[in-house]
Chains A and B, each alone.
Chain A
Amino acid sequence: MEEKNQMPANKVEVPLPKSGAVGLDIGTSRIVAADSSDSKLTRTELNAFVAVPASDMIEQVLKQKHMVFERNCKNLYVYGNDSDFFASFMNVAARRPMRDGLLNPQEEQSQHIMQLIVQRLVPRARRNNEVLYFSLPGKGEGVNGKLVYHQAVLKNFLSSLGYNAKPLNEGQAVVFSELQDENFTGIGVSFGGGMCNVSVSFMSMPMITFSIPKGGDYIDRNVTEVLGEANSTKVRLEKEEHLDLSRAPKDDLSRALHIYYEDVLQTLIDSLRAEFSASSQLPKIDRALPVVLAGGTARPAGFLQKFEQMLVAGGEFPIEISDVRMAKDPLTATARGCYIAAMSEMK
């Protein structure tokens, strides 16, 4: 028996998209919706939830705090942006409906919670065949089989909202949002929570796409483990608020973060080299390609310099790189890219 939170105060009125096109970045840590190419007009929800045993007292507190939750017969589920605060309040770790970029098979409620979060961001389509592009990880190590399921579940759900739902590679979405002046030719990299996605695009056509199963969560988890922390909250806060990769680490935590960041970047650069060497589909591109970095994991200060240093340090790259740049708004770049793709298909 399921009982939905009916409190009007908790209801956030979701603005209807003006154009009928929606871009949705379904990331491991956040879900971002864009119905405009303006990054200020995007909407974001944490892709997380906290479950507590249902009680009238807690429910009353949640209502007073205007928190978004759902109650079923056993538990109360606080989800979305409120989950972070509530997790701190309850001194528990927020749970993730997704892991490593895909639906989390260890979470029974993953699909349901994700649907609730998405519904807070995306209204039902007003007309038939309004186009919605949602981000999808690229193929990679240990991903391929699960990717099919992940894509099908999301597509079915979004279609049930009345959209003509289509997947778009995360890296390609970054290309669409950031490389317009280059006619969508370049390399887009999305550093997400669960994984990193790369797309090498030529004139809007993805030539190479792949993913590596390392991202922000990988860094948090491993740093927490190696430092013997009880949970990853401290690590995450340090990473998001104080970490500067352009400076030498000053303590164990920042050193560990440096190490794992470098590991992630090195893995990605090596994979990129390997993909370029192995690919036979690339046309003979007669120009240098730009690289655009986006995603929450790319937010720490000095990330861009670190990436450039490691790219140069690895020796000659298979293709000429014109420049490496950070997306204008790394957190919303993927969603905006999906929106542009959706808009391009609107009549």
Chain B
Amino acid sequence: MIPRSGTETTLHYSKVVERYAHLFDRPEIRLRFLNHTLALQTDCTDKLNGWLDRFPLIKQSKLYERHYARLLDLLLYRLIVREINKYLPTSMGERLRLLRQQKAPVAARVYFSFYQARYLFHVAGLAFVVLLICGLCSATVWSAHRVNNYLASRYSKSNPTDTHAGSPGVVYAQTPANYLPDYKPEKVWLVERKDNFERYSNGGRISTDYETDNHQRAYYVLPHTNGAMNVQAKPIGELHHEPAGLLYHTSESDLLPFTADNNESIETHTRGLLEYVRRNRSYNYVIDRFGQIYRIVRDEQAANHAGHSVWADKQGVYVGLNESFIGVCFETRSDASVEQLTEAQLVAGRLLTQILRSRYQIDDADCVVHGLVSVNPDNMRICYHHDWVRNFPFAAMGLSDKYQVAPVAISEFGFTYDDDIIAQVGGAMWPGAVAALAEFDRRAAAANLKTDDLRKQMRERYRQQMELARKSRDTTTDQTESSRALDQTNTPQG
């Protein structure tokens, strides 16, 4: 729209104002309305032009050309409505009657109606703004939840309630923690590193006094078998070197009464334990009774802590967890009748869990105890080691209860348990083990096989996979060293 010339503008405004002047019978009011409105419009125009003169860029823009005249028209209508309101009777009915009598233009009546209802519009506008703000807040919160869930799913390998697609009925993690239900592993970072310790942002302090080396981790993630022998035991993806999970142990070492007068003796015992563990490269971490965390075998290296063991998550199956899981050992015993962990160990265990999960993005589903993963392939029994086969405080570590999870050793590979094992674990198997056994029976039925026949087949399957895991180790480490370590951990040591 091309800006109008001065004379044209005057004529245009006058015509607009004239339409509304007919509302007024009395000459002085009509004259006042005309003069005031046009004078005010001139003032408005001058002010607008003065403002625009200060911003020449706006004046040169196409926006100015298009909308300048429209803006002035809007200002004029605003003034008209305001002036009409001054001079018309105060009664709403009289005003409308006057508008009808004077045959005011429809536009005038509409404008006037809007003006009359302006407070209603104000309230409606205010309500709209409030609703908009509430909506935006809700949308923000909702989006944050969605983003949070997405990030959680992105950086967490499994959903605690997720079931494996290929193994319907097999539950990897089912029961949430009884307390700290909303706990999420927080981002933890290294704050300080000194010669003999590391300090982390969650308060965790790791002593490196006993740190030692072992061979580098190397493992494959194997596919779920689904109980079918025709599935090729080919590994999923590349050879992995990063830790995939945490495996908690008990040291099964001698424990003195935890009293102040035993300080020195307790520490002496701890030093003995640490020397032993370092010499045999038994664990990656040891947490003593005072809650001090010691790193023994470095994280990127395998410790000899798991022996024959198998665990699975939705990614796949891990066989021989020395290579894939970090071993964390609490200085305690499985048969301790009163308490298995000191308060300091609970806190330290939680802190270390946070540190390691944060550093290696370890999923909750892959934080488990040694007793649940340990197997004996010779007799196809589980619980070759039974440390933490009960009473591990998963919740205190910020983890879900793995006693509810069906062990893959039973549900897929057909490992089983007998009365001796039941007696060893306290007279009753954990719920996950019972569920896994039923699942294996269901698979055998589905395959039209007797359970024992399927078990024999799966034993062979396990051996194949164990061999594959062994070969993977041999690509990066000395086979003899690995075999020795494997043999060592198969001794009845935790």
Contact = CB atoms under 8 A, between A and B. Distances in A.
A9 interface: no
Contacts of B18: 183, 203
Contact of A204 (B7, B11, B29, B31): B31
A202 interface: yes
A341 B14 contact: no
A344 B32 contact: yes
Nearest to B27: A180
A346 B17 CA distance: 21
Contacts of B30: 180, 183-184
Given A203-B34, A204-B35, A344-B35, A284 B7 contact: yes
A341 B31 contact: yes
Given A184-B34, A203-B38, A344-B35, A176 B27 contact: yes
Interface in B29-81: 29-32, 34-35, 38
Interface in A225-283: 281, 283
A13 interface: no
Interface residues of B, number: 18
Contacts of B38: 203, 205
A341 B35 CA distance: 10
A115 interface: no
B17 A344 contact: no
A340 B27 CA distance: 7
Given A176-B27, A284-B7, A284-B11, A183 B21 contact: yes
B17 A203 contact: yes
A183 B34 contact: yes
Nearest to A182: B18
A333 to B, nearest CB: 12
A113 interface: no
Interface of A is mostly: loop
Nearest to B39: A205
Nearest to B31: A344
Contacts of B31: 176, 180, 184, 204, 340-341, 344
Interface in A269-320: 281, 283-285
A341 B32 CA distance: 8
B21 to A, nearest CB: 5
Given A183-B21, A202-B14, A340-B27, A345 B7 contact: no
Nearest to B17: A203
B475 interface: no
A340 B38 CA distance: 18
A37 B7 contact: no
A21 B29 CA distance: 13
Contacts of A187: none
Contacts of A21: 28
B8 interface: yes
Contacts of B34: 183-184, 203-204
Contacts of A340: 27-28, 31
B9 to A, nearest CB: 9
A203 B14 contact: yes
B28 A344 contact: yes
A176 B30 CA distance: 10
A184 B18 CA distance: 10
Interface string A188-208: 000000000000001111000
Nearest to A178: B27
A212 interface: no
Nearest to B34: A204
B10 interface: yes
Interface residues of A, number: 21
B32 A345 contact: yes
Residue from B7, B14, B22 whose CB has the most chain A CB atoms within 10 Å: B14
B23 to A, nearest CB: 11
A183 to B, nearest CB: 5
Among A176, A177, A183, A343, max chain B CB count under 10 A is at A183
B251 to A, nearest CB: 98
A202 B17 CA distance: 12
Nearest to A341: B31
A175 to B, nearest CB: 10
Contacts of A202: 14
Contacts of A184: 30-31, 34
Nearest to A285: B11
A36 to B, nearest CB: 11
A180 B32 CA distance: 12
Contacts of A183: 18, 21-22, 30, 34
Contacts of A180: 27, 30-31
Interface string B89-119: 0000000000000000000000000000000
Contacts of B11: 283-285
Given A202-B14, A283-B8, A37 B27 contact: yes
A150 to B, nearest CB: 25
Contacts of A176: 27, 31
A341 B34 CA distance: 12
Interface string A160-172: 0000000000000
A133 to B, nearest CB: 11
B29 A283 contact: no
Contacts of B32: 343-345
A191 to B, nearest CB: 22
A343 B32 CA distance: 8
A284 B29 CA distance: 26
Contacts of B21: 183
A258 B327 CA distance: 131
A319 to B, nearest CB: 14
Nearest to A181: B22
Nearest to B37: A203
7 contacts: A37-B28, A184-B31, A204-B34, A205-B14, A205-B38, A284-B8, A345-B32
Given A37-B28, A205-B14, A343-B32, 6 more contacts: A183-B21, A183-B30, A202-B14, A204-B35, A344-B28, A344-B32
Interface of B: 7-8, 10-11, 14, 17-18, 21-22, 27-32, 34-35, 38
The 5 closest A-B CB pairs, nearest first, are A343-B28, A344-B32, A283-B11, A344-B31, A203-B14
